[in-house]
């Protein structure tokens, strides 16, 4: 006898471990197995009456109905591994996850759908446990990527602490780092603690018996599930009760070298022990913290070093600004007084003494200028101002200044015609060439010094300074740019220079990114070359500064009638200059400020001698502009400054202006005044010419 399909299925599935439901084409339950009661809480007959909709969550019921119709149109076997998954509701209303396998049973024209329903709660828990470490690693990786962009140590420590407090669901947290010098633990970050607690634990001796000290010294994690019954926490129970925590966890932070650098602690209001997962992840955060703290401390040390270097450079710059003016002032006074004495003392013995004094003053001035130049280059006070200029302009300056010096030694100073134009800082290149030419004249006993330039390539123009001097041994070439190094001069020997010229040349070349070359042969001579880039555009040839040479004859009678205004704020320099000019026959009025100069000019002024740096931030260029505007004439002026290159660079071409650098010798000052008096000049001064003197020059070499 053949049994109906339902009876056959029922006999086979009663003992199945999963809930089994059989429904017809109208999704009416026809049969269930006994597992439905244990799984859903319904009796089999009860569920048949209530219908399958009772098991479906109300919020997804409509969607499930649509899927059911789709399945009936295309009925097929759907395995549990690829079948439906979702949630169903038990008799008492609780939801739980399930997996569903659908199968088709046919008997003639009748078709039933068999649904095997399996509780997936355990599988979901397993999946959650498997996903948790992945999520933890993702969170840790995300945080590390974020903190790698942060350089502030307090921000790094705060982010780490917040992450661990959140991970452990702690109520309080703190990080204490070990002071490298004292070894004590210092509180650097906290969350949730009161001021009284922080006062107690702001600094902790790493060797004490607290949980902090125990964790640091033992290297083991200290977890106290409940501080009340813990005998070792007895000294701190009152603090715990006052603060309101019952459980604590302490983890040591190891440095990258394994040496402990701090402690992290979390505190809980209720008795509690973090899970193993939480503790393991805390250890990973501690390793990240150690890495980031080491980097943060290194960054802080680097910033501190940079700040210290910047402060040192600023102090050095302030010193240089002061030294450029104040250190030259005493030399200026002595040099001018030397000139006064030479004009008032007539005996031969005094004259010889004054000559020796003048030589010593000159040596001191050269050394001071070289030392200040070196210091400015070292401190970064020199800022190149690049531009296009004609080499011939520099060559003419050098011809004027060195031709007489070379002739005095019986040497020829040959300058070859040069039509090249280059791109660099003209004042700094002039300083380089001056030092090279001075060095060549110094070490050449007979013959000549030659200055020339050549186009080497499309990107290089070479300027050569050649001499027929003593030459440099090959083994000494590596030392010639060192400070205070001189060929053939011992450390205790008498010297007329100090071996700083070539050192300044090398530093300027490095500053400008230029290449220096030297070729030398002992007994034959040397050739120093500097390679420069060509000009970037057309260059107009500049006229050489006028008035530096020419006839100086002028009668003493006329000179005595000239009214000279002296503007100098240093009392010593002012007195020495006034005495010199008075002895030289000028009618001198000495003042110390712009306002006093304007008042004195009301009685008439023929000549002006002014210092560049004056008290109260006033400058000599402001004095020149104001007096020329007031008098309506291009007043003949000598401007005295310690910033020679910058002043000369910024001032307009003016045949009624002479610029002199400190310390200024008496003879040079008088020669400049005399040259002004023989120069032809227009009677009026334009507004543009006067305004040009109001610009302040930048400090440089």
**Model confidence band, residue 286 (pLDDT cutoffs 50, 70, 90):** confident
Residue 328 · residue 320 · CB < 8 Å: no
Per-residue tokens: 613: 């740096």
Sheet harboring 95-107: ordered strands across? Answer: 29-32, 19-23, 110-119, 95-107, 84-89
Per-residue tokens: 326: 């104040």
pLDDT at 411: 92
What is the tens place of the pLDDT at every residue in 133-189?
A: 566 666 666 666 766 666 777 888 888 888 889 888 999 999 988 887 788 888 889
In Å, how far are 193, 217, 237 from 196, measured between CA atoms? Answer: 8, 26, 14
Mean pLDDT of 20-46: 81
Residue reference for tokens 């008042």? 599
Cis amide linkage into residue 351, ω under 30° from 0: no
Q: pTM for the complete prediction? A: 0.43
Residue reference for tokens 């009638």? 561
- List of domains in the chain: 5-119 (3.30.450.20), 134-300 (3.30.450.40), 387-532 (3.30.565.10), 556-694 (3.40.50.2300)
**Model confidence band, residue 492 (pLDDT cutoffs 50, 70, 90):** very low
In Å, how far are 134, 196, 272, 283, 618 from 277, measured between CA atoms? Answer: 12, 33, 14, 10, 73
Mean pLDDT of 582-590: 89
547 contact partners, CB below 8 Å, separation of at least 6? 655, 658, 675, 676, 679
Alpha-carbon distance of 160 to 157, in angstroms, equals: 5
Nearest Cα neighbor of 662 from 319, 318, 331 is 331
Crossing angle for the helix pair 328-344 and 276-326, to the nearest 10 degrees: 10
In terms of DSSP bridges, do strands 84-89 and 95-107 run parallel, antiparallel, or are they unpaired?
A: antiparallel
- Chain-centroid distance of CA 307 in Å reads 9
Q: Which residues pair with 254 in a beta bridge?
A: 260
What is the tens place of the pLDDT at every residue in 390-444?
A: 999 889 888 888 888 888 889 999 999 888 899 998 888 888 898 899 889 988 9
Lowest mean pLDDT among 74-88, 254-268, 464-478: 74-88
Per-residue tokens: 585: 């026959």
pLDDT at 696: 42
Residue 290 · residue 261 · CB < 8 Å: yes
Per-residue b or e along 134-145, where b marks 16 or more CB atoms closer than 10 Å to that residue's CB: eebeeebeebee
Please check the confidence at residue 560 and state whether its pLDDT lies above 50. Answer: no
Crossing angle for the helix pair 328-344 and 666-678, to the nearest 10 degrees: 80
> How much of the chain, in percent, has pLDDT values that exceed 90?
16
Alpha-carbon distance of 630 to 624, in angstroms, equals: 10
What is the tens place of the pLDDT at every residue in 521-543?
A: 898 899 999 999 998 887 766 55
pLDDT at 290: 79
Positive or negative, the CA dihedral 139, 142, 145, 149 is negative
Per-residue b or e along 548-580, where b marks 16 or more CB atoms closer than 10 Å to that residue's CB: eeeeeeeeeeebeebbbbbbbbbeebbbbbbbb
Mean pLDDT of 230-241: 86
């Amino acid at each position: 006898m053949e049994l109906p399909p339902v009876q056959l299925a029922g006999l086979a599935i009663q003992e199945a471990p999963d809930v089994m439901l059989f429904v017809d084409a109208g999704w009416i339950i026809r049969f269930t197995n006994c597992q439905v009661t244990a799984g859903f809480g319904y009796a089999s007959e009860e569920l048949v009456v209530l219908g399958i909709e009772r098991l479906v969550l109300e919020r997804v019921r409509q969607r499930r109905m649509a899927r059911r119709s789709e399945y009936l149109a295309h009925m097929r076997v759907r395995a549990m591994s690829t079948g439906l998954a979702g949630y169903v509701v038990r008799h008492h209303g609780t939801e739980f996850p399930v997996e569903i396998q659908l199968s088709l049973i046919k008997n003639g024209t009748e078709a039933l759908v068999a649904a095997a329903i399996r509780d997936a709660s355990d599988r979901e828990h397993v999946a959650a446990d498997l996903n948790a470490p992945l999520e933890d690693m993702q969170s840790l990786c995300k945080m590390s990527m974020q903190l790698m962009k942060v350089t502030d140590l307090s921000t790094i420590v705060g982010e780490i602490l917040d992450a661990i407090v959140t991970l452990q669901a702690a109520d309080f947290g703190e990080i204490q780092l070990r002071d490298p010098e004292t070894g004590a633990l210092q509180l650097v970050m906290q969350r949730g603690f009161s001021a009284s607690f922080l006062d107690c634990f702001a600094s902790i001796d790493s060797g004490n018996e607290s949980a902090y000290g125990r964790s640091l010294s033992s290297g083991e994690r200290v977890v106290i599930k409940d501080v009340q019954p813990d005998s070792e926490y007895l000294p701190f129970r009152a603090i715990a009760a006052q603060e309101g925590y019952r459980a604590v966890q302490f983890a040591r932070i190891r440095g990258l070298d394994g040496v402990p650098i701090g402690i992290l602690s979390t505190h809980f209001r209720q008795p509690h022990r973090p899970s193993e997962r939480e503790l393991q992840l805390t250890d990973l955060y501690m390793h990240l913290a150690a890495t980031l703290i080491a980097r943060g401390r290194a960054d802080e040390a680097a910033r501190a070093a940079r700040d210290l270097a910047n402060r040192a450079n600023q102090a050095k710059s302030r010193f240089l600004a002061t030294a450029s003016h104040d250190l030259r002032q005493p030399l200026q006074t002595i040099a001018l007084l030397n000139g006064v004495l030479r004009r008032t003392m007539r005996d031969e013995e005094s004259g010889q003494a004054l000559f020796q004094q003048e030589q010593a003053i000159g040596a001191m001035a050269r050394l001071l200028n070289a030392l200040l130049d070196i210091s400015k280059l070292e401190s970064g006070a020199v800022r190149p101002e690049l531009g296009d200029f004609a080499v011939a302009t520099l060559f003419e300056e050098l011809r004027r200044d060195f031709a007489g010096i070379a002739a005095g030694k019986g040497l020829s100073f040959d300058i070859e015609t040069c039509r090249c134009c280059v791109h660099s800082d003209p004042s700094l290149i002039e300083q380089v060439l001056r030092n090279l030419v001075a060095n060549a004249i110094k070490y050449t006993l007979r013959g000549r010094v030659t200055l020339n330039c050549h186009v080497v390539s499309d990107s290089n123009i070479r300027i050569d300074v050649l001499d027929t001097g003593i030459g440099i041994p090959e083994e000494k070439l590596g030392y010639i740019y060192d400070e205070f190094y001189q060929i053939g001069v011992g450390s205790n020997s008498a010297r007329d220079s100090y071996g700083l010229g070539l050192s300044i040349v090398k530093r300027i070349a490095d500053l400008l990114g230029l290449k220096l070359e030297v070729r030398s042969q002992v007994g034959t001579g040397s050739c120093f070359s500097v390679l420069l880039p060509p000009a970037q555009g057309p260059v107009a040839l500049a006229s050489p500064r006028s008035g530096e040479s020419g006839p100086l004859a002028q009668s003493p009678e006329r000179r005595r009638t000239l009214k000279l205004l002296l503007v100098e704020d240093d009392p010593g320099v002012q007195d020495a200059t006034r005495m010199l000019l008075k002895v030289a026959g000028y009618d001198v009025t000495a003042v110390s400020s712009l306002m006093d100069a304007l008042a004195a000019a009301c009685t008439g002024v023929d000549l002006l001698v002014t210092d560049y740096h004056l008290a109260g931030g006033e400058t000599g260029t402001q004095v020149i502009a104001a007096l020329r505007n007031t008098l309506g004439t291009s007043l003949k002026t000598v401007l005295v400054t310690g910033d020679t290159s910058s002043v000369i660079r910024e001032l307009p071409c003016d045949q009624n202006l002479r610029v002199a650098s400190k310390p200024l010798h008496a003879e040079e000052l008088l020669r400049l005044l005399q040259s002004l008096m023989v120069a032809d000049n227009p009677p009026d001064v334009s507004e543009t010419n006067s305004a040009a003197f109001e610009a302040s020059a930048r400090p440089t070499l």
